[in-house]
Amino acid sequence: MKLMNMVYVYLLAVNVAAFILYGADKRKAAKGKWRIPEATLIGFAAAGGGLGAFLGMRIWHHKTKKWKFRILVPLCLIAWILLIGFCVWNGYGRGESLSWMEGLSGRDAGPGKAEPGDQTGEAESGKAEPGDQTGEAESGKAESGNQTGEAESGKAEPGKQDGEQDPGKAEPQDQAGETAIKEDEGMTENIEVFAQSSIRITGSMGTIYVDSFQMKEEPKDADYIFITHDHYDHFSPEDIEKVISDHTVLVVPEGMEKTVKKEVSGYAELVTVKPGQTRTVNGLEFDTVAAYNLKKPFHRKSAGWVGYILKVDGRTIYIAGDTDATDEAKAVRCDIALVPIGGTYTMDAEKAAELVNAIQPEIAIPTHYGSVVGSPEDGKVFMEHVKAPVKVEMKLSF
């Protein structure tokens, strides 16, 4: 059962119980029998039965002259209306598990994982390690690099009407004729996605890892490790230990500098970044893009978390991090986009598809679903909503 459906069933039950309790207590009072404690009656209102309690007071004409009932019961009702409205507005519970409740404490998921919140002890700007100051530029305005192999034969143009594909080259379409999905392993055979948003990219510049998590092997071959933010399923020291080598460059948001120095060792260089920069480290050029939630509390813009646009062998690869469809994300131009689709803490599958349709990469790869948050079915929903000429590749396996 979906989470919000469970909540609605609970609220119905507790309100019916509250209404009955108020009626029963009224009858007991009329007959001079043992009464239900007032704390119990108010407790049912506080537990979500505010509407039932309020109706019970009015219909049974019970406790209407006692100030604590006249004040506390309506307050409980208003509080629950606001809470449910907040959850619905932010999309909680759309096919998701109870793990969203854990997110209210601020971590991405998992019992006992506390939200770091805004990093009050963040490193001041300019304290990046030596060798990483190569100038700044606005995120999302990176050049696409050398677009080798960009124009494929038979690839539908964005402006074509439904069904106007070139003869013999028609893309598979949904019933509305708007979606075209085609897998193309040629461009992305050097990209692997492990659990959640754990990514490995290989190229002429070396081996790049992003947000290593639940790594089953210990290759210890990283030339670069990029971290988007400090939640446990993105910054995992034990998994970093499995891939780090003595020549690894570790790239992290500025607010993580102290934490990384305390929990990670064995790297050759630590580079700190903030949103909206263009950097070159050991020959690898990349941009940083702000990654944050628009309404949800899990990833605050003030924390300075980032996504990355990596320029690898003439291709621009956008790794969005945990983000919603922000203005910064919509301004990105890239060849390949890896975007979170699991909902709760990031965009859901439909919103992620809207972002991909707006930025128009050649290939979109969904991440951040099917394990910690979201379900494997989210990948199918994402594919159904991505429109031609963007192609979708599924890299996560379950």
Which among 290, 330, 334 has a CA at the least distance from the CA of 312? 334
Q: Is the pLDDT of residue 169 over 90?
A: no
Is the pLDDT higher at 377 or at 154?
A: 377
114-118, 268-272, 345-349: lowest mean pLDDT where? Answer: 114-118
Q: According to the 3-state scheme, what is the secondary structure of 209-270?
A: EECCCCCCCCCCCCCEEECCCCCCCCCCHHHHHHHCCCCCEEEEEHHHHHHHHHHCCCCCEE
According to CATH, the topology of domain 185-392 is: Metallo-beta-lactamase; Chain A (3.60.15)
Instruction: Give me the chain's average pLDDT, please.
Output: 80
Distance from C-alpha of 21 to C-alpha of 41, rounded to nearest angstrom? 7
Is the pLDDT higher at 157 or at 51?
A: 51
Distance from C-alpha of 370 to C-alpha of 195, rounded to nearest angstrom? 9
Which among 231, 226, 198 has a CA at the least distance from the CA of 297? 231
Q: Where are the domains of the chain?
A: 3-89, 185-392
Q: Is the pLDDT of residue 93 over 90?
A: no
Distance from C-alpha of 203 to C-alpha of 360, rounded to nearest angstrom? 23
Distance from C-alpha of 336 to C-alpha of 334, rounded to nearest angstrom? 6
How far CA 307 is from CA of 274, 315, 340, in Å, comes to 10, 16, 11
Distance from C-alpha of 295 to C-alpha of 291, rounded to nearest angstrom? 13
Question: Coil, strand or helix: which one is 86?
Answer: helix
> pLDDT-derived band of residue 157, with 50, 70 and 90 as boundaries?
very low
Q: Give the pLDDT confidence of 47-83 residue by residue, as tens digits.
A: 999 899 899 888 988 887 888 888 999 999 999 999 8
- Sequence-ordered list of residues with C-beta below 8 angstroms from that of 287, at least 6 positions apart, any chain: 137, 139, 140, 141, 142, 277, 278, 279, 308, 309
pLDDT in the model for residue 116: 40
Q: What is the mean pLDDT of residues 32-39?
A: 84
Q: What is the mean pLDDT of residues 196-216?
A: 96
pLDDT in the model for residue 2: 58
Is the pLDDT higher at 245 or at 373?
A: 245
Q: Give the pLDDT confidence of 126-151 residue by residue, as tens digits.
A: 333 434 443 333 334 334 334 333 43
pLDDT in the model for residue 65: 80
